[in-house]
Chains A and B, each alone.
Chain A
Amino acid sequence: KAGVTQTPRYLIKTRGQQVTLSCSPISGHRSVSWYQQTPGQGLQFLFEYFSETQRNKGNFPGRFSGRQFSNSRSEMNVSTLELGDSALYLCASSSSWQVANTEAFFGQGTRLTVV
């Protein structure tokens, strides 16, 4: 079956703009989590969704938001982009109601560069 699909793969945005990233989980998976990966901070948890409900949120400013649709696809949005938002954004899905319970399947990520 198809893996986790993230679009777009690469993005270049200017400071102050906003961006929307998309994640389609593995078919049948209803839990989706998002992570920000940077060389200095490693993998940082952004948020997690299950059945369209945000279950958990990491320590990121309110400029970072997300949602999940009825087909389990998820989007995250970053408004008023800052240079420090440049990172690889990873989405993961799981067959469990909670991503931390079992194997997480990651997408290839979206590489966001803010200039």
Chain B
Amino acid sequence: GQQVMQIPQYQHVQEGEDFTTYCNSSTTLSNIQWYKQRPGGHPVFLIQLVKSGEVKKQKRLTFQFGEAKKNSSLHITATQTTDVGTYFCAGPTFTGGGNKLTFGTGTQLKVEL
């Protein structure tokens, strides 16, 4: 079946260091979404990318959608303790009834002072 994988699974960084998580789909995606889930919380939408090669920035966060629309990345510059959480990419994958939102395996980020 269609899969969405993320690497790394875990990342520990010192505050101030950069962080990148990579998302790879087995199929072309019409769009890619990113979500953040704080410990004990629920996923919260960060952004959606639609165009091939698209790059979007939100303050210290930079999101990219690959040219082939099969991969994406999230880069955080100068991490802060507030960045702690699990970052998921998600994209539409086709089933018999239409598209469902398939989530990547997630990257858990821990930031140490």
Residues of A within 8 A of B (CB): 33, 35, 42-43, 45, 48, 54-58, 90, 92, 98-109
Instruction: With a 10 A CB-CB cut-off, give which of A33, A100, A109 has the most chain B CB atoms.
Output: A100
Q: Choose among B42, B45, B95, B106 the residue with the greatest number of A CB atoms under 10 Å from its CB.
A: B42
- Which residues of chain A have C-beta atoms less than 8 A from B98's C-beta? 55-56, 98
Docked-complex contact A100 and B103, CB < 8 angstroms: no
Interface residues of chain B, those whose CB is within 8 Å of chain A, are 31, 33, 35, 41-45, 48, 88, 90-93, 95-106
Give the distance in Å from the alpha carbon of A92 to the alpha carbon of B103 in the complex: 13
Which residue of A has the minimal Cβ distance to B101? A100
- Count A/B pairs, Cβ under 8 Å: 65
Closest chain A CB from B41 CB (angstroms): 8
From known contacts A33-B101, A45-B102, A98-B98, infer whether A103 and B43 are also in contact, taking CB-CB under 8 Å. no
Taking a contact as CB atoms under 8 Å apart, the answer to whether A42 and B103 are in contact is yes
14 contacts between A and B (CB under 8 A): A42-B103, A45-B100, A45-B101, A56-B99, A92-B43, A98-B92, A98-B98, A99-B100, A101-B31, A102-B48, A103-B45, A104-B90, A106-B43, A109-B42
A99 touches B45 (CB 8 A): no
Q: Judge whether A43 and B48 touch: CB under 8 Å.
A: no
Minimum CB–CB distance from A58 to chain B (whole Å) comes to 7
Q: Which of A35, A48, A58, A103 contacts B48 (CB 8 A)?
A: A103
